[in-house]
Amino acid sequence: MKQSPTLLINHACSELGAALATAAAPRFRLALASDDRHRGNEACAALHREGCEALFLECQPGNARDCQRGVERVLRRWSQLDSVINLPAFLSLGPFEATRSSDWEHLISAQLLDTVNLCQSAISAMRRQEQGGRILNVVPQFGLLPGPLSAAQSATSAAIVALGESLHSEVHHRGIHVSTLVLPLYQETPGFLHTSDPLTEARFQRKIARSPVTLPELGKALLEALDNDEVVQTASRHTHERWRRKRWFRKRWERTVRELGAKYRR
């Protein structure tokens, strides 16, 4: 009997991670990586009750050794690693001068370094097993559409987009496909949004509340993106249209974000 492919989900204990696991469970054996042991074990138990194979991997943010151990556990359990999805850990927003060095370090560790470390471990494993694999890195829309109050998040997400493009060119000939999916704002649990001040919190909570995108839709979009051969993808038509306006009507785009920045910083 042919075994189901394996999927490792990083930051799997978020609401988005739960939506993705639900969408992926009929097709994959799932490894759920997170620093939240309690929620991770609960998620695996729920999947087991549904007759799905699941494994929890405890991984601290930015810890390269934890990523390596997690990949090794997947290989010992199932002898293969077919796909990896790196979800964002949180969304960090606020005025540039109010963003502390510790906030930058936490964001870089929990998102950029976590993505780098897991990509490195996964690519090494996929090369050894000689059957290729797929890696999908997921970032908030500020990686393509930087704007006011998003300097740290934009810099981190843009670095992940560039990382994916570089890795795609480097390992594609080995059958390993690396791509990036850009997510719009979407409704999440309150802990997902990290802001430096109450006003920024209120502004973006209103934006998030108005988002028409649902978590089940994003879960399905993530699986579709995993099979898509485009290097950079968008999960929302609205995000894609804004990206096109930025590329083709650059001066108009810059004027718009300057006006928005002036409004936010009055």
Count the neighbouring beta carbons within 10 Å of the beta carbon of residue 188: 17
Quickly state the pLDDT bin for 161 (edges 50, 70, 90). very high
Q: Give dist(CA 152, CA 157) in Å, integer.
A: 9
Three-class SS of residue 174?
A: helix
Q: Give dist(CA 85, CA 4) in Å, integer.
A: 17
Q: Is 26:47 a contact under the CB 8 Å cutoff?
A: no
Domains in the chain, CATH or no CATH each: 6-237 (3.40.50.720)
Q: Where are the strands (E) in the chain, listed by range?
A: 6-10, 29-34, 54-58, 83-86, 91-93, 133-140, 176-183, 193-195, 232-234
Point out which residues pair with 183 in neighbouring strands.
140
| pLDDT at 192 (0 to 100) | 84
Ranking 76-80, 136-140, 226-230, 261-265 by mean pLDDT, the lowest is 261-265
| pLDDT at 262 (0 to 100) | 83
Q: Where would I find the H helices in 172-236?
A: 198-209, 215-226
Tokens 């699941």, residue located: 54
Is the pTM above the cut of 0.75? yes
pLDDT digits (tens, 9 = 90+) for 94-128: 999 999 999 999 999 999 999 999 999 999 999 99
* Sequence-separated (6 or more) residues with CB below 8 Å from residue 58: 33, 34, 35, 37, 40, 66
Judge whether residue 155 has pLDDT over 50. yes
pLDDT digits (tens, 9 = 90+) for 52-85: 999 999 999 889 999 999 999 999 999 999 999 9
Tokens encoding 76: 């010992």
Give the CA dihedral 32, 35, 37, 43, nearest 10 degrees: -30
pLDDT digits (tens, 9 = 90+) for 57-66: 999 988 999 9
pLDDT digits (tens, 9 = 90+) for 188-207: 766 788 999 999 998 888 88
Judge whether residue 143 has pLDDT over 80. yes
Judge whether residue 181 has pLDDT over 80. yes
Phi-psi region of 3 (alpha: psi -120 to 50; beta: other; left: phi over 0): beta
